[in-house]
């Protein structure tokens, strides 16, 4: 069955259990969470990014697995609301849907624990069964955090052969992904990166792969090392760092007071992919992606600040960006 989707994503679609505390506890410490400070939100790195893309105006689809529990029902309802296609998302009887524990303190800082659950059962056979779906979209977006990379690598090879664009979000440090969690070999990870048109690693992932300390140097090094046309690294209050075949630059962040940083990186990824697919200049893409990320930090929950392109443009027009001199 053809997808007719702009973007199909393979990665984590989960429910976030958000706990608001006056401080994040240290080892052997106790804190109290009143009932009104515990909330459930739709989340997961891929679920968030696809939601952001959908609200920006693209047609999206999710390829993965859910359990048959209440969390799965919540995800199905939220995807229906945001028009994210689940026609190739398999429900697994007796299995638990992926979920996340997120502890947020009074300053908006957070600690996250990930539970992939049924997503560990996404294998090569499942990917092969969805070949026609994968190869019929405009861009395939994959995520490196909780799932084995090899099935996703198979999907990327299929898509690449069909002329589909590839973007990859390495959401955890490469050393954790390869050496601690054993979700990929280094050869698999490097092959995935080399197949990308757009690589969006977290700062820890970029540092592991380059041994650089400066984010802009990381971006340049990654582009040169793997031959990827576009590298984008988000770094919170410093904005983002982009390296292309033509230029390398820092795009400054917006000056805002964050409430909850959960999902801000995913909103940034959505903005980056959206602008890239629209064919914008990468300077404009970086500013827009920073706007998407900033908007999502001023509301509680991973997706609460995700909105239309027009709303992002309005935010960008009303808010100033930080001076680069302050970040150097």
Residue pLDDT, tens place only, 76-88: 999 999 999 999 9
C-alpha distances out from residue 208 to 67, 176, 177, 213, 273, Å: 34, 10, 11, 10, 23
pLDDT at 311 over 90: yes
- pLDDT more than 70, % of the chain: 98
Q: What percent of the chain has pLDDT over 90?
A: 76
Radius of gyration of the chain (CA): 19
pLDDT (0 to 100) of residue 326: 46
pLDDT in tens, 58-116: 999 999 999 999 999 999 999 999 999 999 999 999 999 999 998 888 877 778 888 99
pLDDT (mean) for 20-32: 84
Its pTM stands at 0.92
Superfamily name with CATH number, domain 7-13+45-69+82-95+115-327: Ribokinase (3.40.1190.20)
Q: Please, what is the angle between helix 149-161 and helix 186-194, to 10°?
A: 30
Q: pLDDT per residue over 160-216, tens digit each?
A: 999 999 999 999 999 999 999 999 999 999 999 999 999 999 999 999 999 999 999
- How do residues 258-276 score in pLDDT, each as one tens digit? 887 778 899 999 999 999 9
Look up residue 14 and give its two tokens: 């989960």
The string of DSSP letters for 81-129 reads HTTEE-TTPEE-TT-PPPEEEEEE-TTS-EEEEEE-GGGGG--HHHHHH
Mean pLDDT of 278-306: 91
**What whole-number distance in Å separates Cα of residue 282 and Cα of residue 230?**
9
Mean pLDDT of all residues in 40-63: 95
């Amino acid at each position: 069955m053809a997808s007719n989707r702009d973007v199909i994503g393979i990665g984590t679609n989960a429910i976030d259990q958000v706990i608001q505390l006056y401080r994040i506890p240290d080892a052997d410490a106790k804190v109290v969470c009143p009932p009104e400070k515990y909330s459930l939100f739709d989340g997961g790195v891929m679920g968030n990014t696809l939601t952001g893309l959908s609200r920006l105006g693209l047609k999206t689809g999710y390829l993965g697995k859910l359990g048959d529990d209440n969390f799965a029902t919540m995800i199905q309802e939220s995807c229906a609301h945001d028009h994210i296609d689940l026609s190739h998302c398999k429900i697994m009887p007796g299995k638990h849907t992926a979920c996340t524990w997120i502890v947020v303190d009074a300053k908006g800082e957070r600690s996250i624990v990930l539970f992939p659950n049924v997503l560990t059962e996404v294998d090569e056979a499942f990917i092969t069964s969805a070949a026609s779906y994968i190869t019929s979209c405009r861009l395939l977006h994959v995520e490196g955090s909780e799932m084995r990379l090899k099935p996703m690598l198979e999907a990327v090879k299929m898509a690449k052969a069909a002329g589909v664009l590839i973007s990859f979000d390495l959401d955890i440090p490469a050393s954790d992904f390869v050496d601690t969690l054993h979700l990929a070999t280094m050869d698999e990870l490097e092959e995935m990166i080399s197949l990308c048109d757009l690589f969006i690693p977290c700062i820890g992932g970029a540092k592991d792969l380059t041994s650089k300390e400066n984010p802009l140097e990381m971006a340049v090094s990654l582009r040169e090392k793997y031959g990827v046309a576009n590298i984008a690294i988000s770094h919170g209050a410093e904005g983002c760092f982009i390296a292309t075949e033509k230029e390398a630059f820092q795009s400054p962040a917006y000056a805002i007071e964050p409430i909850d940083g959960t999902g801000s990186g995913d909103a940034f990824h959505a903005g980056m992919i959206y602008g890239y697919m629209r064919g914008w200049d990468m300077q404009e893409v970086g500013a827009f992606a920073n706007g998407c990320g900033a908007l999502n930090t001023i509301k509680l929950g991973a997706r609460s600040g995700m909105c239309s392109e027009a709303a992002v443009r309005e935010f960008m027009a009303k808010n100033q960006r930080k001076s680069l001199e302050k970040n150097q």
